[in-house]
Structure formats: structure tokens, C-alpha cells
Amino acid sequence: MFAGFDFDVIVRALPYLFLDGMAFTLTLTVLATLGGIVLGTLLALMRLSRFAVLSTFAASYVNLMRSLPLVLVIFWFYFLMPYVGQWVTGAANPVRVGPFWSSLVTFTLFEASYFCEIIRSGIQSVPRGQVMASQAMGMTTAQTMGYVILPQAFRNMLPILLTQTIVLFQDTSLVYVLSITDFLGAAAKVAQRDGRLLEMYLFAALVYFAISFTASFFVRRLQRRVAIVR
């Protein structure tokens, strides 16, 4: 099976795979994680709000996003964003949106629904006595959330946030369906060009495994270090 395995095709493709493909994948992962955490925090606060309109909107958004296949959302935003841009800017024709920005918006909005539930659970994990003590000291609700609740919540949920980031890193390979040159897309283009599908797809799988496994190992170590003994 591996008698004709060509390692040289992998070596020749390394600069293209990592400088173009992996660079895109990591950039998309980092930016979508940051955007997803920010938006997810906002959604979590809305879900915990006493105002029914805010909590209902946030819950509906989270349930909608978590009920849709990610690949469908990718297609939806890729073809919808030009028309949204046309509507916002009042242009005569659909606004051209690059594949990177379309992917970034898609993953940020989609992952925010998952980060929302993680952050909401983290906030609820902080003992209620912390809130009562803060109010007794004269702190406002915003101050209590910003200085007392959220710092403790993020400490508790940091390993889970990083685990979700690893999942996001793997999910970015789905932009391949849009012919975007992420790591998997770069491997696929080399495979089709040189006719070496086995070598390139096997190498791509090993790289994804190595990065995800290593990151998961450090997340487990971090989880033990930040664990609070009660």
C-alpha cells in the first residue's frame, strides 16, 4: 500500500502548506476565538439578564446557531454577506466580500453561541455570596460583574474555553468547501495538482492530530493547575 509513497511531494509543499495554508487557519482560529468570546460574553450577560426581551433574544440566537450544521452556516453567510453589504451601504450591486472576512464573520457568530453557554455556566459557578459581599461593599452591578464575577468565572472556565478553541481550529477545515486556501485546502490543491492524494491527506491528518493532541495535553495540565480545591 505504501510502496509508492512519495515523501518528496510533502517536502516540496511544506512552505505552501504552512506559510499560506496554516497561516490562514491559525489567523482565522485566533480572531474567531477572540470575537466569539467577546460576543459570547455579551450573549451570556443577556441570557442572565432580568429583562425578558434580552434573555429571550439571546436564548433564541444560541438555540438557532447550535441547531444548524456549521457547513450550512458557512454557505449561508458566504452567499448572504454581499447582499447584506449592499443593503447597509446602499450600493447598486452586491458588495464583494472576501472569503476571509466571510469566514471570520461566520465562525465568530457561530462559535459565540457555544462560548455563550460556557461563559454563562462559568458565571453561575461563582458562589452567590460573592455577589452579596460586593453589594454590601457598595459596588454597582456592573462593578460586581467586571471586578468580582467575571475574573473568577474566566479562571474557572479557561480550560473549557481553550478546549472549544481546539474544536474551532479543527472546524476551520470546513472552509475548504469554499475553495479557500486554509491548511486542508492547500493540501487538497497540492494533492490534485500532483496526483498524490494519499500522501497529502495523510500528512494533513497527522498535522491536525499533532497540533490538537499537543494543545489538549497542555489544556489538561492547565486544568490541574487552575483547579480550585474546595
User: Each residue of 120-145: pLDDT tens digit?
Assistant: 998 888 888 887 888 788 888 788 88
The arithmetic mean of pLDDT across residues 46-52, rounded, is: 91
The predicted pLDDT at position 42 comes to 95
The predicted pLDDT at position 154 comes to 86
User: Each residue of 167-214: pLDDT tens digit?
Assistant: 999 999 999 888 888 999 999 999 998 888 888 999 999 999 999 999
At 2 the three-state DSSP class reads coil
CB 186 within 8 A of CB 20: yes
62-71, 96-105, 131-140, 183-192: which has the minimum mean pLDDT? 131-140
Query: What single letter denotes the amino acid at residue 117?
Result: E
Measure Cα distances from 210 to 139, 166, 203, 217 in Å. Answer: 47, 12, 10, 11
pTM for the structure as a whole: 0.89
The predicted pLDDT at position 132 comes to 82
pLDDT band at 27 (very low <50, low <70, confident <90, very high): very high
The predicted pLDDT at position 1 comes to 53
The predicted pLDDT at position 93 comes to 82
Query: What single letter denotes the amino acid at residue 96?
Result: R
pLDDT band at 52 (very low <50, low <70, confident <90, very high): very high
14-18, 22-26, 138-142, 158-162: which has the minimum mean pLDDT? 138-142
**How is residue 210 written as a grid cell?**
499533532
The arithmetic mean of pLDDT across residues 68-79, rounded, is: 89
Q: Residue 69 region, left (φ>0) first, then alpha (ψ -120 to 50), else beta?
A: beta
Topology, domain 27-180 = MetI-like fold (1.10.3720)
Query: What single letter denotes the amino acid at residue 205?
Result: A
The arithmetic mean of pLDDT across residues 39-49, rounded, is: 93
The predicted pLDDT at position 229 comes to 46
Q: What percentage of the chain's residues is helix, strand, coil (to nearest 5)?
A: 85, 0, 15
Q: Burial letters for 50-73: b for 16+ Cβ neighbours within 10 Å, e otherwise?
A: eeeeeeeebeebbeebeeeebeeb
Of the two residues 3 and 160, the one the predictor is more confident about is 160
Q: What is the CB neighbour count within 10 angstroms for residue 5?
A: 12
Q: Is 19 exposed, middle or buried (0-12, 13-18, 19+ CB in 10 A)?
A: exposed
Q: Domain segments of the chain: what residues?
A: 27-180
DSSP 8-class letter at 17: I
pLDDT band at 230 (very low <50, low <70, confident <90, very high): very low
pLDDT band at 149 (very low <50, low <70, confident <90, very high): confident
The C-alpha cell 476571509 sits at 100
